[in-house]
Structure 1
């Protein structure tokens, strides 16, 4: 029985990591390093209000989220916790790739910080948006509200809820189409998220993908040192080419938490540690126990749970 690390996606719009930063010297040193690589102050990474410009806001938010996730990893590594498999969603897939040894930490954070240079959308571009949707908790390809609605895309599948009554998905696309869909379906079936103005994991992010492609191509990717689960299809990423393909497609292709945790289960994972706050606690079903780690008290909980379950912690030494 082995340990898996799960990294969520999303953007750190709220202050994250303050308790860990104040408690652990290794986290403080880590944030200083991220600051040096990105040109952001530690305050900007930890807790300051995000910029208002869309792409710059997205960039700083991803730095915040990834910095916390790797900060959690640093603390766990100091207690000799070693994952046997690793994976994540969206930004989390990129962070997991870094910790699997496929690219350096500096390369990851320079890429995230550099995405602030992506041109803002034209003023006459129709607004984009994101919504959470609820559908039947069936196996296989998820059935989502608005499947035939122009301008609405299935952007993410988070799988069944913990009680097994429904499936949670993320829709993205044109804000007007999402709003109209929410008004057509039963109340609470589709819930547009306020302030989310980027249709992530849809073809509408093609301009971002094209702008970032040369920067991704310039990264010297390496083969992952441990099994790295894809969030874009049911697959273990084993080569540098696999990881490069993930980075290139990540912004425009739909993601699946189900693919990640199913793959981990097949790799022998029997305890998952969820790094940071971006995967909500207690809402989703997992095929193994999970511990969410984002504050100091969660570190002891993770250690205790691992020992109680008899988890093999010899996965691989923590990677630089």
Structure 2
């Protein structure tokens, strides 16, 4: 009988309305943004409203990452103040790094500084071949080799989100070379594979391999601790139990595909009875979970989370 806190993936563009409402309603969220701004030498307003102007794409992605992490941690603090302390945590991509903070494996200040200094390297692995992303909506029983894998040159599985809430389609994110993604989209029925406009980084794919050692050098001076809570990985179905495993997750997160399926199965193994999906995440809110889930993306959802704890008989742990 466990309560889980789950944190969503990075969002290169998102509507900050719910986060702004949290910021205005709760001192804990304001404190989280103020800390993030102080630690990274960024300003609160662009972190909160996502309205900054930046010299290049790397600087913009860094600011978005810091702002979203500040929002997720601040909202988690609001839940903790209500007594909703998780027994187990996990997240997707950026959310996995935030979950590491909540589990006590890395200090918030260190996470914010790493996000503010991350090298996203906008240059493609092949200078003559632009990269890209695509969303794919696949029917049950689909052949993965048709979309990615050895038979599909230049396309990789970047994220497996599992099935939509109705269980009708499997939602995935593909990454790779833009020409290969566009070729795949043209071969499929309209709307099945959609190449994302304005996305030019093949995230969570082998094309980011050159950043693995860059990231390893970045995290080398950071002090990691053994997690105090079960920390479920989204890179494979396992629970991270040591400081070194968490450090390696930070490095692998740059290259390996992420999977909500892996994360959910591991959360279920820890007897999760209710999950609180913390912060803005339109994709996460549209998915199927093997346990009840409350999407805490606006202040109104805090009361829903408290009610769900009582409805499902979740026994809360003490700090």
Range class of TM-score, shorter chain: over 0.9
What SS does the aligned partner of 1:83 have?
coil
Q: For 1:299 and 1:142, how far apart are their aligned partners in 2?
A: 39
- 1:295 maps to 298
Q: 1:197 aligns with which of 191, 197, 200?
A: 200
Return closer, same or farther for 1:56/1:135 CA change in 2, 3 Å cut-off.
same
TM-superposed deviation, 1:61: 1.3
* 1:124 shift after superposition: 3.9
Indicate if the aligned counterparts of 2:294 and 2:304 stay in contact, CA closer than 8 A.
yes
Q: Which moved more, 1:8-17 or 1:285-294?
A: 8-17
Within a 5 Å distance, the mapping from 1:69-218 to structure 2 comes to: 69-115=72-118, 119-121=121-123, 124-138=127-141, 145-147=147-149, 148-218=151-221
Superposed CA offset, 1:148-169 (max 9, x none): 2211001111112222222111
Match of 2:22 in 1: 20
Quick check: 1:135–1:143 contact (8 Å CA) kept in 2? Answer: no
Contact 1:8 1:279 in 2 (8 A): no
TM-superposed CA distance for 1:175, in Å, is 1.1
Pick closer, same or farther for the CA change 1:272–1:61 going to 2, 3 Å. Answer: same
Q: How does 1:280-291 map to 2 (within 5 A)?
A: 280=283, 282-291=285-294
CA distance in 2, matches of 1:74, 1:142: 40
CA distance in 2, matches of 1:57, 1:253: 23
The question of 1:32 aligning with 2:34 is answered yes
* Equivalent residues of 2:161, 2:260 under 8 A apart: yes
Report if the CA contact (8 A) 1:135-1:145 is conserved: no
Q: Which moved more, 1:105-114 or 1:39-48?
A: 39-48
**Contact conserved, 1:232 with 1:255, CA < 8 A, in 2?**
yes
SS of structure 2 residue aligned to 1:92: helix
Gap change, CA 1:65 and 1:83, over 3 Å in 2: same
Q: In the alignment, is the contact (CA less than 8 A) between 2:103 and 2:227 conserved in 1?
A: yes
> Normalization by structure 1: what TM-score?
0.92
In the other structure, the counterpart of 1:64 is 67
- Equivalent in 229, 235, 243 of residue 232 of structure 2: 229
Tell me, in whole angstroms, the C-alpha distance in 2 between the residues paired with 1:22 and 1:108. 24
Provide the rounded CA distance (Å) in 1 between the counterparts of 2:42 and 2:252. 27
Q: TM-score, normalised by structure 2?
A: 0.93
Q: Following TM superposition, by how much is the alpha carbon of 1:52 offset from its aligned partner in structure 2, in angstroms? A: 5.6
Q: Kindly indicate whether the alpha-carbon contact (under 8 Å) linking 1:129 and 1:172 is maintained by their aligned counterparts in 2.
A: yes
- For 2:270 and 2:299, locate their aligned partners in 1 and report how far apart those are by CA, in whole Å: 28
Please, which moves more after superposition, 169-178 or 204-213?
A: 204-213
**Structure 1 position 142, deviation (Å):** 5.6
* Number of aligned residues: 314
1:265 Cα deviation (Å)? 0.9
C-alpha separation between the residues in 2 aligned to 1:5 and 1:255?
Answer: 17
Question: Whole-Å Cα distance in 1 between the matches of residues 57 and 206 of structure 2?
Answer: 18
Structure 1: gaps spanning 5 or more residues? none
Taking the aligned partners of 1:45 and 1:263, their CA distance within structure 2 comes to 32
Change (3 A) 1:13 1:252: same
Q: How far apart, CA to CA, are the structure 2 residues paired with 1:198 and 1:126?
A: 11
Which range moves more in the overlay, 273-282 or 152-161?
Answer: 273-282
Q: Residues 247 and 300 from structure 1, CA distance in 2 versus in 1: closer, same or farther, beyond 3 angstroms? A: same
